[in-house]
A and B are shown apart, each in its own frame.
Chain A
Amino acid sequence: MAGAEKPMFAMDGNDVPFEPGQTILQAALAAGRYVPHLCFHPEFKPHGSCKLCTVKINGRTVASCTTLAKQGDEVESETPEIQDLRRNLVQFLFVEGNHFCPSCEKSGSCMLQAVAYDLGVMAEHFSPFFPSRPIDASHPDVLLDFNRCILCELCIRASAEVDGKNVFALSGRGAKKHLIVNAESGRLADTRLAVEDKAMDVCPVGVILRKRRGFQVPIGERKYDQHPIREVAVGKATARHASGKPSPQGPSKEGA
């Protein structure tokens, strides 16, 4: 093993080294190369549902977060074609929910918003679905605003795998798929969710919000206000990679 060259693939003409078992997205982030993503979170098994991380390899499009890196692959990521595709997917997510960023508590630390800026999405393009998704304010410390849910399942995974509580789940299918909580009443107050839970800190958008913390960090000083997402995402990934094992990514304290 000693002295063996690290395997490599090429992404948009740049060499990217990888460890066997890493997916393309994991390796790219570790090497400081940003690939847009939403449902991927470094501490969880890749899920592959948002499809924002789609890349092209030998003429085939695949989700880079779930596709294992392979020696010699030629990966196209920031080509006009793929970026266009990603813009459409972001537009899909915007029209599917109710996203009024200016009045959103998560604005500035929202990944969806940040990715949209990164890709230069200027308009929703398609007319919105305006779904009716009532807010759940039953919990003493937590507010759920389902209007913004992009169905990435991170809260579900965090609550099941880290908190051991299974507070969140999905029901319905197709465009009627929606987040549910683990209670016959359907109310968050009747679940075991606590503010210390991991599930509180993984939502990429503004669904799971702490009560009485609204706008504590002023807009303009939030995570993606300070640094574009393509820097934030690879910064963390590089640090984690250097230490050899996943570093606990400090729960974002700003905003929600």
Chain B
Amino acid sequence: MSRDLSAILARHQHDPLRLVQILRDVVEEHGFISPGTITTLAERLSLPRGRVEGVAGFYAFFPTENAGRYRVLFSDNITDRMAGSVELRQRMLEAFQVRDGEVSRDGLVSIGTTSCTGLCDQGPAMLVNGRAIPRLTRARIGSISAMIHGQAPLDTWPANLFDIHTHIERKDLLLSTPLAAGAAIDAAIARGPDATVAQVKASNLRGRGGAGFTTGVKWEMCRAAPGEAHYVVCNADEGEPGTFKDRVLLSDYADLVFEGMTVAAFAVGAKRGFLYLRAEYPFLLAPLEATLAERRKAGLLGKSIRGVADFDFDIEIHVGAGAYVCGEESALIESLEGKRGIPRNRPPYPVTSGYLQQPTVVNNVETLAKAAFVVMHGADWLRVRGTGRSAGTKVLSVSGDVARPGIYELPFGATVREVLDLCGATDVQAVQVGGPSGMLLSRSEQHRRIMFEDVPSAGAFMVFDDSRDILQVLENFASFFAHESCGFCTPCRVGTALQRRMLSALAKGYGTRRDLKDLARVAKVMKASSHCGLGATAGNAALDALEKFKPAFEKRLGTLEVMPTFDLDRSLAPAREVTGRDDDEAHLSHEEEE
């Protein structure tokens, strides 16, 4: 045990900043992180033991107890559920006689759920020991179960099981402009850093990761900020359920993304860059490393890029470990530094005090890809499309009840109806734009437009037809937020848990009128006082639904003004556990899960 820990530590130069990467390797090799391992790592890294335990306990993909030789996690986005994931999971649980989230007695397998894995255009999906398997069917579940029963090593499983498809359904500016690797870098060098920044500013390019901050201004602030070193970070955490466009950009347009990072580095004077890749996309790692290696060979990364003295820049890939909040830029930086992903107090912002408190640009994958073309083709390249305050196009990830799920690039200003027509959606009841943290639109809002001025979107576009139960959608979103809250601040830590409890009661039909009032109240508390965007937006969908889908709530209300939320039957669970009984007689009520 200790010997391979030494190897792992050596691979990471005993660098405490690499703690998250070290723990990933430990899980890869041991399956979990034991208390003894934590003690050893803390000693060897000269960190307080509690620090290491705290980091291990923060990330979803770091089990701290034996979680079985095969760790199966079903992606639990609403789109996976709509595609049948609940039934498939149930089958598998029965096949192995194991309870949800627990490990089988023989230590062979554990089966549970995880937040959206970004395969919504080819769900239901799962992760087995961190490896993604899309397009699950009964047949696939059958063969996966058989291989686990037979203890076949993952490497011997049929390769096509792991194939990830790319569905690009509509290309516009970004996805159809060709790139000759190095061309944007050459354009930046020819113009010089200040003019490069000015050009990005002139294009009005705004961040595609959610907040929509003007990219040129961000670069300018970072360039102007004093520091020992500057850094460029590409945010590829893509944790917002229903979003998968960055996955496609990184699989099919990796050169362009790295080109954008290199141009940003030239503009702000950075020597090191990081790509923070979400753990759910392990299949991208090897191809991305290969692209980086090619670019180094071509002199597009490394020392004196394109022969420019002092233009040294290289990129490292850091892989996350299952934490949506690490997409928030300051939490991302904490995670890059090997810590729990807790958003920092701002100001100071990353542009002046980011990685290691140095000036840092954090940009979304799509933003960087677009910046590369702006630098190459000029500000107008972007501005020919879009609207006044939303220049250019948006890459949307379309999923749910549509004929053709996948990637759609559209000019900003496109209406919801245009998107629905393109992807083949009928009988549309609701659309969730921008993921659970975004906006819930009703059928009467299809004239609304995707743009910062009206319906902003970080990329998700989930469609629900008339057959869907909005309360189940909301319950799914609420569990997502409760599971992903970092727990730092009171409003979000407690508010997301309360919200989940209330929506679960409402969806099951034993909610009360008082719950409706409290739901709005909790959402408002979270919005007004949360420390970061996660808590601030966690109540959005519920607030939208209370306004636009009131009948859905009314129909499902329990009859009483107040109902006991203390579940007598549930409180008997420990007694059932001890007596080993779970038959009907051992239950007080008959509240079957729907």
Q: Tell me whether B531 and A177 are in contact (CB under 8 A).
A: no
A147-169 vs B, CB cutoff 8 Å, 1 = contact: the mask equals 00011000000001000001111
Q: Tell me whether A175 and B497 are in contact (CB under 8 A).
A: yes
Q: Tell me whether A49 and B531 are in contact (CB under 8 A).
A: yes
A167 to B51, CA, bound (A): 10
Q: Tell me whether A51 and B529 are in contact (CB under 8 A).
A: yes
Q: Tell me whether B491 and A51 are in contact (CB under 8 A).
A: yes
Q: Is B485 an interface residue (CB 8 A)?
A: yes
Please list 28 pairs of residues, one from A and one from B, whose beta carbons are closer than 8 Å in the complex, sorted by A's number. A48-B489, A49-B489, A51-B490, A51-B491, A51-B529, A51-B530, A52-B490, A54-B528, A63-B529, A85-B529, A92-B525, A93-B494, A95-B498, A150-B490, A160-B48, A169-B50, A169-B53, A170-B54, A171-B53, A172-B58, A172-B487, A173-B323, A173-B340, A175-B494, A176-B487, A182-B49, A182-B50, A184-B36
Give the contacts of B351-376 with A (CB-CB under 8 A).
none
Residues on the B chain within 8 Å of A183, using CB: 49
Residues on the A chain within 8 Å of B36, using CB: 184
Q: Tell me whether B490 and A49 are in contact (CB under 8 A).
A: yes
Closest to B502 in A: A126
Q: Is B177 an interface residue (CB 8 A)?
A: no
A126-B498, A168-B50, A169-B53 known, 8 other contacts, Cβ within 8 Å: A54-B529, A61-B529, A66-B345, A92-B525, A166-B50, A173-B487, A180-B50, A184-B39
Q: Is B230 an interface residue (CB 8 A)?
A: no
Q: Tell me whether A48 and B345 are in contact (CB under 8 A).
A: yes
Q: Tell me whether A126 and B518 are in contact (CB under 8 A).
A: yes
Give the contacts of B21-39 with A (CB-CB under 8 A).
35-36, 38-39
Q: Tell me whether A174 and B489 are in contact (CB under 8 A).
A: no
Q: Is A232 an interface residue (CB 8 A)?
A: no
Given contacts A48-B345, A85-B528, contact A175 B58 (CB under 8 A): no
Q: Is A88 an interface residue (CB 8 A)?
A: yes
Query: What's the nearest-Cβ distance from chain A to residue B79, in Å?
Result: 23
Q: Is B282 an interface residue (CB 8 A)?
A: no
A95 to B57, CA, bound (A): 23
Residues on the B chain within 8 Å of A54, using CB: 528-529
Query: What's the nearest-Cβ distance from chain B to residue A219, in Å?
Result: 27
Q: Is B279 an interface residue (CB 8 A)?
A: no
B-side interface residues, number (CB < 8 Å):
42
Query: What's the nearest-Cβ distance from chain A to residue B71, in Å?
Result: 19
Q: Is B397 an interface residue (CB 8 A)?
A: no
Closest to A166 in B: B48
Give the contacts of B469-506 with A (CB-CB under 8 A).
482-491, 493-498
Residues on the A chain within 8 Å of B486, using CB: 173-174, 177
B325-345 vs A, CB cutoff 8 Å, 1 = contact: the mask equals 000000000000000100001
In the A-B complex, list the 4 residue pairs whose CB atoms are closest, starting with the nearest: A169-B50, A171-B57, A177-B487, A166-B48
Q: Tell me whether B487 and A151 are in contact (CB under 8 A).
A: yes
Q: Tell me whether A180 and B54 are in contact (CB under 8 A).
A: yes
Q: Tell me whether A177 and B518 are in contact (CB under 8 A).
A: no
A45 to B488, CA, bound (A): 16
Q: Tell me whether B49 and A175 are in contact (CB under 8 A).
A: no
Query: What's the nearest-Cβ distance from chain B to residue A67, in Å?
Result: 9
Q: Is A127 an interface residue (CB 8 A)?
A: yes
Please pick, from B53, B484, B498, the residue contacting A180 in the complex, using a CB distance under 8 A.
B53
Q: Tell me whether B565 and A127 are in contact (CB under 8 A).
A: yes
Residues on the A chain within 8 Å of B54, using CB: 169-171, 180
Residues on the B chain within 8 Å of A172, using CB: 57-58, 487
Please pick, from A51, A85, A174, A184, the residue contacting B35 in the complex, using a CB distance under 8 A.
A184
Q: Tell me whether B525 and A175 are in contact (CB under 8 A).
A: no
Given contacts A172-B487, A180-B50, contact A92 B495 (CB under 8 A): yes
Please pick, from B56, B490, B565, the residue contacting A92 in the complex, using a CB distance under 8 A.
B490
Query: What's the nearest-Cβ distance from chain B to residue A125, in Å?
Result: 8
A44 to B35, CA, bound (A): 31
B43-66 vs A, CB cutoff 8 Å, 1 = contact: the mask equals 000001111011011100000000
Give the contacts of A45-100 with B (CB-CB under 8 A).
46, 48-52, 54, 61, 63, 66, 85, 88-89, 92-93, 95-96
A96 to B497, CA, bound (A): 9
A contact residues vs B (CB 8 Å cutoff): 46, 48-52, 54, 61, 63, 66, 85, 88-89, 92-93, 95-96, 125-127, 129, 150-151, 160, 166-177, 180-184
Q: Is B443 an interface residue (CB 8 A)?
A: no
Residues on the B chain within 8 Å of A125, using CB: 518
Residues on the B chain within 8 Å of A63, using CB: 529, 531
B259-300 vs A, CB cutoff 8 Å, 1 = contact: the mask equals 000000000000000000000000000000000000000000
B112-138 vs A, CB cutoff 8 Å, 1 = contact: the mask equals 000000000000000000000000000
Residues on the A chain within 8 Å of B497, using CB: 96, 129, 174-175
Q: Tell me whether B494 and A166 are in contact (CB under 8 A).
A: no
A166 to B531, CA, bound (A): 25
A188 to B501, CA, bound (A): 33
Given contacts A49-B488, A89-B491, A166-B50, contact A173 B58 (CB under 8 A): yes
Query: What's the nearest-Cβ distance from chain B to residue A8, in Å?
Result: 21
Query: What's the nearest-Cβ distance from chain A to residue B76, in Å?
Result: 15
Q: Is B521 an interface residue (CB 8 A)?
A: yes
Q: Tell me whether B496 and A127 are in contact (CB under 8 A).
A: no
Residues on the A chain within 8 Å of B488, using CB: 49, 177
Q: Tell me whether B566 and A174 are in contact (CB under 8 A).
A: no
A126 to B495, CA, bound (A): 11
Given contacts A127-B565, A171-B57, contact A92 B48 (CB under 8 A): no
Closest to B486 in A: A173
Closest to B488 in A: A49
Given contacts A166-B50, A174-B496, contact A50 B57 (CB under 8 A): no
Residues on the A chain within 8 Å of B521, using CB: 88
Residues on the A chain within 8 Å of B528, using CB: 54, 61, 85
Q: Tell me whether A51 and B531 are in contact (CB under 8 A).
A: yes
Q: Tell me whether A175 and B51 are in contact (CB under 8 A).
A: no
Residues on the B chain within 8 Å of A92, using CB: 490-491, 494-495, 498, 525
Query: What's the nearest-Cβ distance from chain B to residue A130, in Å?
Result: 9
Closest to A92 in B: B494
Give the contacts of B48-99 with A (CB-CB under 8 A).
48-51, 53-54, 56-58
Query: What's the nearest-Cβ distance from chain A to residue B535, in Å?
Result: 9
Give the contacts of B521-568 with A (CB-CB under 8 A).
521-522, 525, 528-531, 565-566
Residues on the A chain within 8 Å of B51, using CB: 166, 169
